[in-house]
Structures are given as C-alpha cells and as structure tokens.
Amino acid sequence: VRKLGGIPLVLNQCNIDDNNPYIREYAIFALRNLLINNSENQKLVKELEPIEPVQNDILGEIGIITELGNN
C-alpha cells in the first residue's frame, strides 16, 4: 500500500462525511492496520507535513474555527 501511495489516500478519508458517516472510522481502522508493527509506514506518516486546515461546516455552525498550530 505504501509503495503504491495508498497511505495518503487513506488519511484523506479521515474526515466527517454526511453521505458516508462511517468512512472516517473505516479509514482510522485501516490506518491502524497499516501502521501496527510497520516502522516504514510509521516513518512515512511521521514525516508528513500539514498543508492547510479545512474548515468543517458542522464545527463552523457552532463557532469553532480550524487552524494549524505550532507544537
């Protein structure tokens, strides 16, 4: 999966989707299975850099604004 560029595709599914409410859970479970006991996959995820935050409509409705912070 890593060699074919699939890990970023799985990570892209870790969001809230009203049309497919379980996609995030499926993606998180798939990501867990891809990372467990696999140091090369873990290294790839660790080296990823965030590009930009995406505002979620549901969070925006209650006044929460997404932003990137420095850790």
Nearest Cα neighbor of 7 from 37, 53, 43 is 43
Q: Is the pLDDT of residue 71 over 70?
A: no
| pLDDT one-digit tens code per residue, 8-36 | 999 989 887 889 989 999 999 999 999 99
Q: Is the pLDDT of residue 40 over 80?
A: yes
Is-contact 36 12, C-beta < 8 A?
no
Rounded distance between C-alpha atoms, residue 32 and residue 12, angstroms? 14
Is-contact 26 13, C-beta < 8 A?
yes
pLDDT of residue 60: 84
- Secondary structure class of 15 (helix, strand, coil): coil
Rounded distance between C-alpha atoms, residue 17 and residue 19, angstroms? 5
